[in-house]
């Protein structure tokens, strides 16, 4: 069972795992196993990487993904869509129930196919499930990166929210959103002192920015990455042979890590290994580092620079019945 949150102290689990690629049900089953493992390790919070359900779109760069009207690209995309997450029809219910059962908070990257945008477009979403098993926020990635734009849609600001977890205020962003200064500032201004950055994998993504964000925010920063190997691609995946042709053993090598509020490593990047990484955070360290710098408090100048954030969920229709 997950443990009660003690004053100042938070035990976290970074689940650096590979999906059962493009297979929603297989990946959900694997995630549930790691949720149970995190509970047995008495974690208060467990985090999974970006787009983990049902997986990152690695095929795009390997199969001429920008070719217009390609039958191959259409077929793979349709398969991806069929395995995406529809929260409103209950695809994450088992995760919510496990969180409630174990009194464990879960943050999870998934590919969402939301009904409020018509049900046929995909978003890279970061879902926050609290220890009551309730989904408190779904943050849709504001801007897909580079080739991701061939399969994911731009999100909105609705999920730019923070959540209280013991002494900590938790927020999170997807992958290269973490390079966007204004979304980071939006979370800082809401009191964030534990920042969660989720990634599809690879140390080159996490090595520098994790420590930088910790220094900028004077916060703990946890970067949680996935892994991806050719063996994680099921045999029935459309165009499997084309996707794995000329590939390295690892499509993504992990790189999950934790930086303390002074920018030092609490957990250095873990590469090439599928595991549950454990760490214990002490809020006292946040308060110590805020003594000389607080990006939204005593070192801010709202009379000079201020930020406006639109947190409305975007839709193409307003129905009045």
Catalytic center residues: 50, 141, 175
288 alpha-carbon distance from chain centroid: 28
* Sequence-ordered list of residues with C-beta below 8 angstroms from that of 319, at least 6 positions apart, any chain: none
Distance CA 83, CA 61 (A): 20
Rg (CA), the chain: 19
State which H helix or E strand residue 145 sits in: none
* Sequence-ordered list of residues with C-beta below 8 angstroms from that of 17, at least 6 positions apart, any chain: 30, 31, 34, 48, 49, 52, 226, 227, 274
Distance CA 130, CA 165 (A): 9
63 alpha-carbon distance from chain centroid: 26
Are 189 and 307 spatial neighbours (Cβ–Cβ below 8 Å)? yes
Are 285 and 217 spatial neighbours (Cβ–Cβ below 8 Å)? no
DSSP one-letter code for 43: -
172 closest CA partner among 115, 129, 207, 113? 129
- 278 forms beta bridges with 13
Distance CA 179, CA 173 (A): 10
């Amino acid at each position: 069972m997950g443990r009660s949150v003690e004053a100042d102290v938070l035990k976290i689990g970074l689940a650096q795992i590979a999906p059962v690629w493009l297979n929603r049900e297989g990946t959900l089953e694997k995630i549930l196993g790691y949720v149970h493992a995190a509970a047995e390790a008495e974690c208060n919070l467990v985090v999974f990487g970006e787009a983990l359900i049902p997986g990152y779109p690695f095929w795009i760069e390997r199969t001429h993904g920008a070719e217009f009207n390609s039958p191959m690209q259409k077929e793979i995309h349709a398969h991806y869509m069929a395995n995406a997450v529809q929260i409103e029809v209950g695809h994450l219910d088992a995760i919510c129930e496990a969180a409630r059962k174990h009194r464990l908070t879960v943050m999870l990257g998934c590919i969402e196919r939301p009904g409020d945008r018509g049900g046929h477009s995909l978003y890279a979403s970061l879902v926050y499930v609290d220890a009551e098993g309730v989904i408190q926020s779904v943050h849709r990635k504001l801007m897909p990166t580079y080739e991701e734009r061939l399969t994911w849609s731009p999100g909105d600001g609705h999920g730019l929210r923070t959540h209280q977890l013991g002494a900590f205020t938790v927020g999170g962003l997807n992958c290269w959103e973490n390079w966007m200064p204004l979304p980071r500032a939006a979370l800082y201004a809401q009191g964030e002192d534990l920042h969660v950055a989720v990634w599809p994998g690879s140390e080159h993504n996490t090595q520098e920015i994790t420590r930088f964000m910790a220094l900028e925010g004077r916060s703990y920063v946890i970067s949680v990455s996935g892994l991806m190997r050719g063996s994680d691609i099921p045999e029935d995946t459309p165009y499997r042979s084309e996707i794995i042709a000329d590939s390295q053993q690892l499509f993504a090598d992990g790189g999950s890590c934790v930086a303390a509020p002074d920018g030092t490593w609490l957990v250095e990047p873990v590469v090439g290994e599928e595991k549950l990484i454990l760490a214990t955070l002490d809020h006292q360290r946040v308060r110590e580092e805020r003594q000389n710098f607080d990006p939204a408090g005593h070192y801010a100048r709202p009379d000079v620079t201020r930020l406006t954030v639109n947190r409305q969920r975007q839709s193409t229709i307003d129905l009045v019945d």
